[in-house]
Amino acid sequence: MADSIVASLSSLSISSASTISHAAPTAEASWASQLPKGVLATKTLLFKPKTAKSAAVKPVLVVALDSTDVGSSGVLAKEIGIKEMRAAGDDVWQEWFGAAKETASPLSLSSKSAPEGSHPVTLVLDSAIPKLPSDAKLAFHAPGSQTESITIPASDFSKFIESHKIETQPVDFVELKTKTPAAATKPAAGAAPAKSAAAASGSKASAKIEDAELIGITVRKGGDFPEWYQQVLRKGDMLDYYDVSGCYILKPWSYSVWEAITKFFDSEIKKLGVQNCYFPMFVSSDVLEREKDHIEGFAPEVAWVTRAGKSELERPVAIRPTSETVMYPYYAKWIQSHRDLPLKLNQWNSVVRWEFKHPQPFLRTREFLWQEGHTAHISLAEADKEVRQILDLYRRVYEDLLAVPVVPGVKSEKEKFAGGYYTTTVEGFVPTTGRGIQGGTSHCLGQNFSKMFNISVEDPAAAEGKRGTAEGRLFVWQNSWGLSTRTIGVMVMVHGDDKGLVMPPRVSQIQLVVVPCGITARTTQEERTKIEDACADAEKELLAAGVRAKADLRESYSPGYKFNDWEMRGVPIRMEIGPKDLQNKSRMLVRRDDGTKTSQPAEGIAQHVLQLLDTIHHDMFKRADDEYRSHRKVVTQWSDFTTELNKKNHVVIPWCEVEACEDAIKDRSARVAEQGAEQEAADERAPSMGAKSLCIPFDQDQFGDVKGKKCPQCGVDAKRWTMFGRSY
Amino acid sequence: MADSIVASLSSLSISSASTISHAAPTAEASWASQLPKGVLATKTLLFKPKTAKSAAVKPVLVVALDSTDVGSSGVLAKEIGIKEMRAAGDDVWQEWFGAAKETASPLSLSSKSAPEGSHPVTLVLDSAIPKLPSDAKLAFHAPGSQTESITIPASDFSKFIESHKIETQPVDFVELKTKTPAAATKPAAGAAPAKSAAAASGSKASAKIEDAELIGITVRKGGDFPEWYQQVLRKGDMLDYYDVSGCYILKPWSYSVWEAITKFFDSEIKKLGVQNCYFPMFVSSDVLEREKDHIEGFAPEVAWVTRAGKSELERPVAIRPTSETVMYPYYAKWIQSHRDLPLKLNQWNSVVRWEFKHPQPFLRTREFLWQEGHTAHISLAEADKEVRQILDLYRRVYEDLLAVPVVPGVKSEKEKFAGGYYTTTVEGFVPTTGRGIQGGTSHCLGQNFSKMFNISVEDPAAAEGKRGTAEGRLFVWQNSWGLSTRTIGVMVMVHGDDKGLVMPPRVSQIQLVVVPCGITARTTQEERTKIEDACADAEKELLAAGVRAKADLRESYSPGYKFNDWEMRGVPIRMEIGPKDLQNKSRMLVRRDDGTKTSQPAEGIAQHVLQLLDTIHHDMFKRADDEYRSHRKVVTQWSDFTTELNKKNHVVIPWCEVEACEDAIKDRSARVAEQGAEQEAADERAPSMGAKSLCIPFDQDQFGDVKGKKCPQCGVDAKRWTMFGRSY
């Protein structure tokens, strides 16, 4: 069937059509996601206008980009001057397309083309399609097939329409959406970044966003946040979906962020005397289950290897979900004397937690990359000190590399690591949803594990008579600490905007892209070469100065296409070089984070760029920090607690630190949320979640004196200011 | 029982005895290996002298370090003046020790101690025991237990003997061994490194080795090579055994070598435009099995996850054995246009091959760390070029970092990567066994995989009319290349000596250790502080100059103990600082690789050390290279082939390159080897292995003109010089 269509198109001198095969769409990976880069999925809708019985029925065929939100049929009907219409039934689809609606395509219409006069359907064409770049390809379903599609260049689709003499009415659905009553009642969320508000006001800026939506991100961050997140990651080239559920491919654009984090963190922990090692990924069930309390939390998520080749293993082995029980039997063996302390090991590896909850790229995946540090110390004081040193490195990863503000603090008893002594954390914040996110944790395990695994040394402080006795033994003090690729997800959620990713300069694989501009049909070859050479030279000069620069000299892509492409990937600075810039010996620099555009002398540009990258980092951090701070509300009355929570804030209260009170806070805030559930539509996946304690911030002074204050939930004397919120 | 022994020892004022628990010994991990560092396993043997029936039988009890080879009872009997004796039966063990011989210990003898007169056993004491450093501890079995041992300081063991009035005869088993007839008939293997020959001649040098054997490596490299390898890795702190068979723990001392390799290789491939990424470790069975030929080789070794928590997975997932089939479906999706080429991705990860063959640390393990590069190119020429660029980086890893010579070349058709077009390799050589080892491979996959996975682009060279047609499609040319932690095993096997590891300076985590010397009981505190300060200052100065230096200021260890310790770990340079050095403003430098000792002015020592490290690297490489070359024999007659092979050589022949001939060579060389099997005792695990082709070296000229030569096996015209040998 697909072949016959290609053949018939060929007869219309559309020779560029071809059939491609791909995986069948799944619940997680849509048809669109199965298509190659540069090939855009379409959708085909069919409506029957409600007419008087006697009148001839001219069905309305809608062809739009799959990513376009076509809104309600009522609004569309009004737009195209039809009083009322409704979706066509299966019989109509079969009649006109010979296929069920899921796999029908307008290309099948060829068999229905009228030899003379106009075609018996009206075509409503998504106005985004004619605006596509000339090398964009459209994909249509091969009739009846889930795994084959027909692709043709967008420009050839109009050829197809013309040759079939189909009456066509273009509709700008983006504009149409602003006309819908729903749009008026759904304002941008209060928490939306300032820049999208700005974008909505300036008409030029808002047009730009519409342009971007053609091949770019099709939903607003403040609108459908989960969809936005997925689009930004995929279109920003961070990852690809994978055919094992809950696993994702980290493409170079995201992996390079992880490399920047590892490089920084690894060199810092080595300064602290930490050494890297590698323990096997497999754990025997004996060892895994040795510490019952600890493993209880992990057991339901442990993946088991039971077979090798065709042999059933006599004893299945687990894949590590974390390495405490993997490593500590060896610590017991290696640590024999106080001279073997401190023992500070770290490994960079992946761990597997086969969660059955909804997976979320970077935030909740079945395999993830991380580092896990495991150290043993002679005293609690020494362990304490390291816990904080590591936590501060985590803070620096977020703040100094990713430009993401975090609040360092200690977890409540309820939220600490199972089996540990206490847990410190850096807590992040996603303004769009108002939810907190645990950024990284540094645990003091106390002596719990050392007693379990018998990791002990002769106490150098013990009296001579006690040496060599059980009494003279000292169980070591242990820490464990981990930071994962979740960092990348937080970075994306905090900084990304309606155009896509916004990369913090210090971790962006490319910090500046050079795009040749102003080349038109009238440009001479000599002028063209001059511009392109200037771009290549700029790249060279910047690379030499330590700027990760790239000249985008791809042919057959317009500057506009390139702008979009790099904006989606979030490259911090775009440098434009055109004839005027050459003439003026200047370079145009455009910041991704705030869109500002300045012309700079070409002379000394590298130094200027280095400074600008630093400025961008600080501005990005400041914006995110201001926003986080504005969403951190100090509350002393219970009545204000849920009100502020429902405004997507974190709430800081003078808290009693009683576990039962924490449970009560969660229950009461969840119940209130349910009543106001419709206000929560922005993030469907956290509709009525209760608040939990996120951390007890180390910086208590900023909130004033807690003495004499009562816990707003239970009225008991407050101990410390504690930050509560909904969270990931 | 263990407790009562400890109590009875305590009554002898041996309060330092204690009971320790550990894992039960297994086939792979001996009792000794389960003990903590610094605790030495012992062995207890019991013999009954053959006497006249009427005479009282005084049994002979032998107590030796577990690592000591006590040789035959005949030689021992002669040494202690007994005509004949034989191993005691179970009944005698039970009578004297109340335990079976496997878990008996001399400490149980206390219950048998005679109140007056001498003890009714004769004790033969391994003379290594009294020579142990004062803080060394001996471990004895807790009677009847596999998982408990009693430890006492070596010095307290003599206290125990004295208090029981046991007649003791010390025996130096190392010396005794040289008296055995077997020693005379088993000369050091011809392939043993020059330095061990030197050690055997000079008496001072040979004494040193005996000292080292007390706590060090107890077998000679040229003697029991497999045992030597395991001891060197464990005692040199490279790895520890793990309770999942075939998996090993990479300790910082070996992992840091891998870090040095990754740092070099990663920065080099980035210069070639390769980007890092991360694909999930899990593969669905569909994808894994898509390429039947390729997977056939891996299928028997694939580990399958079938269960998560308590849920059986609906569809089991495999753990990647390599990532061709994991990655290439996505290459098909990502590569749409020739502008997407070349695509050059690499990942640093671990892969799992659940081999059932005998595991060998670093060389054959079930999980191993590696990098795998996967690239796609527009043309064969471009792919060819990259294959060789990567292979040259592999050569540089071996030669420039590890000081290990390799021969770069191409694999025969029989030995190439399954499903590939051709395979290039760097081949290493282990002189002690005469076996070759594949060091790293860079494959050109041709278009085989691209056709299988439909990775194609529109051929930019196709005529306009063919564009968009199947005819106008070009399947990409692919490469894949990998280098693993096997590198570390090869490095150890090539450079290690009878004292332990010899680390190549460029990858050694510590390049120079500073040891304070000449501190005696008469040294004043002031002098002592001066020496130690000088050591700390030297460390600081060297670190500042970029030398990875460490001052070993551990108290309560003698310089001799420290020398041994760092020699076992193979630290390239030892700097000794004693009172004389301070006086002379000089520093004593001792090279690990050749033992030379020179005094150098303290002034400008860092520059000297940097040069010396370089010299050591080059000397180590030259020695290994000379040795490899001397074992590479050009042969043109079949009769010489097996002769040279059995002399632990690689054999280079003018070869026909016919696959059947390669099979014949393997068969015929294996058969001959069987006949001469007793000559092969040095490496029990490769007794009668046939030779296979290792590579066709790129440098053909060194062997002369191949034209007109005939293949010595089959007489057919030779094509190229080809290197054959036994291999790992």
User: Of A104-113, A213-222, B394-403, where does mean pLDDT reach its minimum?
Assistant: A104-113
Out of A304, A330, A369, whose CB is closest to B305?
Answer: A304
Out of B16, B250, B330, whose CB is closest to A249?
Answer: B330
Distance from CA of A379 to the nearest CA of B (A): 20
Domain membership flag for residue A308: no
Say if the Cβ atoms of A255 and B275 lie within 8 Å: yes
Domain membership flag for residue A529: yes
Contact yes or no for B147/B21 (Cβ under 8 A): yes
From chain A, pick out residues whose CB is under 8 angstroms from the CB of B509.
275
CB pairs under 8 A between A and B: 187
| CA B332 centroid distance within chain | 41
Distance in angstroms (rounded) separating the CA atoms of residues A370 and A349 = 6
Based on the fold, state whether residues B555 and B581 are members of the same structural domain: yes
Based on the fold, state whether residues A592 and A648 are members of the same structural domain: no
Based on the fold, state whether residues B610 and B639 are members of the same structural domain: no
Say if the Cβ atoms of A277 and B255 lie within 8 Å: yes
Question: How confident is the model at residue A698, as a pLDDT?
Answer: 98
Question: How confident is the model at residue A83, as a pLDDT?
Answer: 77
Distance in angstroms (rounded) separating the CA atoms of residues A369 and A259 = 11
Say if the Cβ atoms of A354 and B309 lie within 8 Å: yes
Based on the fold, state whether residues B326 and B439 are members of the same structural domain: yes
In which band, very low, low, confident or very high, does the pLDDT at A673 lie, cut at 50, 70 and 90?
low
Distance in angstroms (rounded) separating the CA atoms of residues A650 and A694 = 9
Q: Which CATH number belongs to the domain containing residue A6 in this structure?
A: 3.90.960.10
Task: With a cut of 90, say whether residue A189 has pLDDT above it.
Answer: no
Choose the mutation target among B290, B333, B340, B488 for the interface with A, i.e. most A CBs under 10 Å. B333
Distance from CA of B233 to the nearest CA of A (A): 15
Based on the fold, state whether residues A124 and A51 are members of the same structural domain: yes
User: Across chain B, what does the average pLDDT equal?
Assistant: 86
Asked if the peptide bond before residue A342 counts as cis, ω within 30 degrees of 0, the response is yes
Tokens of B520: 């005696």
Domain membership flag for residue B443: yes
Dihedrals φ, ψ of A444, to 5°? -95, 120
Domain membership flag for residue A173: yes
Q: For B278, which DSSP code?
A: B
Neighbouring C-alpha atoms within 13 Å toward the C-beta of B423: 22
pLDDT digits (tens, 9 = 90+) for A417-457: 988 999 999 999 999 999 999 999 999 999 999 998 999 99
Distance in angstroms (rounded) separating the CA atoms of residues B26 and A181 = 75
Question: How confident is the model at residue A58, as a pLDDT?
Answer: 78
Based on the fold, state whether residues A28 and A128 are members of the same structural domain: yes
From chain A, pick out residues whose CB is under 8 angstroms from the CB of B367.
280-282
Say if the Cβ atoms of B22 and A281 lie within 8 Å: no
What number is the average pLDDT over the span B413-426? 94
Question: How confident is the model at residue B7, as a pLDDT?
Answer: 67
A727: left (phi over 0), alpha (psi -120 to 50) or beta: beta
Of B18, B21, B62, the C-alpha closest to B145 is B21
Domain membership flag for residue A294: no
Choose the mutation target among A278, A319, A335, A451 for the interface with B, i.e. most B CBs under 10 Å. A278
Task: Tell me which chain B residue has its CA closest to the CA of residue A18.
Answer: B468
Task: With a cut of 60, say whether residue A132 has pLDDT above it.
Answer: yes
In which band, very low, low, confident or very high, does the pLDDT at B109 lie, cut at 50, 70 and 90?
confident
| Measured CA distances, A682 to A364, A694, B325 (Å) | 20, 22, 40
Based on the fold, state whether residues B613 and B648 are members of the same structural domain: no
Say if the Cβ atoms of B22 and A333 lie within 8 Å: yes
Question: How confident is the model at residue B684, as a pLDDT?
Answer: 40
Task: Tell me which chain B residue has its CA closest to the CA of residue A263.
Answer: B263
Distance in angstroms (rounded) separating the CA atoms of residues A48 and A88 = 6
Contact yes or no for B696/B424 (Cβ under 8 A): no
From chain A, pick out residues whose CB is under 8 angstroms from the CB of B250.
277-279
Distance in angstroms (rounded) separating the CA atoms of residues A109 and B614 = 76
In which band, very low, low, confident or very high, does the pLDDT at A290 lie, cut at 50, 70 and 90?
confident
Domain membership flag for residue B209: no
Out of B300, B329, B367, whose CB is closest to A280?
Answer: B367
Task: With a cut of 80, say whether residue B10 has pLDDT above it.
Answer: no
Question: How confident is the model at residue A204, as a pLDDT?
Answer: 34
pLDDT digits (tens, 9 = 90+) for B617-674: 999 999 999 999 999 999 999 999 999 999 999 999 999 999 999 999 999 998 665 5
Out of A243, A251, A287, whose CB is closest to B243?
Answer: A287
Say if the Cβ atoms of B303 and A308 lie within 8 Å: yes
The per-residue b/e assignment along B6-44, b for 16 or more CB within 10 angstroms, e otherwise, is bebbeebebbbbbbbebbebeeebebbbbbbeebbbbbb
Say if the Cβ atoms of A284 and B330 lie within 8 Å: no
Tokens of B291: 């390429």
Distance in angstroms (rounded) separating the CA atoms of residues A692 and A651 = 10
Choose the mutation target among A243, A295, A326 for the interface with B, i.e. most B CBs under 10 Å. A243
Count of C-beta atoms within a 10 Å radius of residue B155: 18
Decide which of B495, B527, B543 is a domain's last residue: B495
Q: For A72, which DSSP code?
A: -
Tell me the residue range of the domain where A666 lies: 635-725
Q: Which CATH number belongs to the domain containing residue B681 in this structure?
A: 3.30.110.30
DSSP three-state, residue B137? strand
The per-residue b/e assignment along B251-269, b for 16 or more CB within 10 angstroms, e otherwise, is bbbbbbbbbbbeebbeebb
Based on the fold, state whether residues B23 and B169 are members of the same structural domain: yes
Based on the fold, state whether residues B482 and B606 are members of the same structural domain: no
Of A617, A516, A610, the C-alpha closest to A559 is A516
User: Across chain A, what does the average pLDDT equal?
Assistant: 86
pLDDT digits (tens, 9 = 90+) for A521-577: 889 999 999 999 999 999 999 999 999 999 999 988 899 999 999 999 999 999 999
Based on the fold, state whether residues B8 and B120 are members of the same structural domain: yes
Q: Which residue has the higher pLDDT, B346 or B50?
A: B346
pLDDT digits (tens, 9 = 90+) for A586-611: 999 999 999 999 999 999 999 999 99
Domain membership flag for residue B187: no
What number is the average pLDDT over the span A324-342? 93
Question: How confident is the model at residue B234, as a pLDDT?
Answer: 95
The total domain count for chain B is 4
DSSP three-state, residue A300? helix
Q: Which residue has the higher pLDDT, B209 or A135?
A: A135
pLDDT digits (tens, 9 = 90+) for B441-490: 999 999 999 998 999 998 888 877 777 677 788 999 999 999 999 999 99
Distance in angstroms (rounded) separating the CA atoms of residues A231 and A237 = 10
Domain membership flag for residue B299: no
Dihedrals φ, ψ of B655, to 5°? -115, 150
Task: With a cut of 90, say whether residue B589 has pLDDT above it.
Answer: yes
Distance in angstroms (rounded) separating the CA atoms of residues B141 and B152 = 11
In Å, the largest CA–CA distance within chain B is 111
Based on the fold, state whether residues B66 and B169 are members of the same structural domain: yes
pLDDT digits (tens, 9 = 90+) for B164-176: 777 788 888 877 7
From chain A, pick out residues whose CB is under 8 angstroms from the CB of B330.
240, 249
Instruction: Please report the DSSP string for B593-657 in residue order.
Output: TT--EEEEESTTHHHHHHHHHHHHHHHHHHHHHHHHHHTEEE--SHHHHHHHHHTT-EEEEEE--
| Candidate ranges A38-47, A189-198, A648-657; pick with highest mean pLDDT | A648-657
Decide which of B160, B179, B198 is a domain's last residue: B179
From chain B, pick out residues whose CB is under 8 angstroms from the CB of A280.
242, 244, 247-249, 367
Question: How confident is the model at residue A557, as a pLDDT?
Answer: 87
In which band, very low, low, confident or very high, does the pLDDT at A167 lie, cut at 50, 70 and 90?
confident
From chain B, pick out residues whose CB is under 8 angstroms from the CB of A373.
none
Distance from CA of B312 to the nearest CA of A (A): 10
Decide which of B164, B179, B194 is a domain's last residue: B179
Q: Which CATH number belongs to the domain containing residue A523 in this structure?
A: 3.40.50.800
Choose the mutation target among A235, A238, A240, A242 for the interface with B, i.e. most B CBs under 10 Å. A242
User: Of A482-491, B83-92, B523-532, where does mean pLDDT reach its minimum?
Assistant: B83-92
> Tokens 């977890």 — which residue?
A411
pLDDT digits (tens, 9 = 90+) for A335-392: 999 989 999 999 999 999 998 888 999 999 999 999 999 999 999 999 999 999 999 9
pLDDT-above-90 percentage for chain B: 59
Length of chain A measured in residues: 728
Distance in angstroms (rounded) separating the CA atoms of residues B628 and B407 = 10
Based on the fold, state whether residues A617 and A639 are members of the same structural domain: no
| Reported pTM | 0.75
Distance in angstroms (rounded) separating the CA atoms of residues B58 and B118 = 11
| Measured CA distances, B402 to A338, B428, B439, B504 (Å) | 34, 12, 12, 6
Task: With a cut of 70, say whether residue A184 has pLDDT above it.
Answer: no
pLDDT digits (tens, 9 = 90+) for A492-506: 999 999 999 999 999
In which band, very low, low, confident or very high, does the pLDDT at A233 lie, cut at 50, 70 and 90?
very high
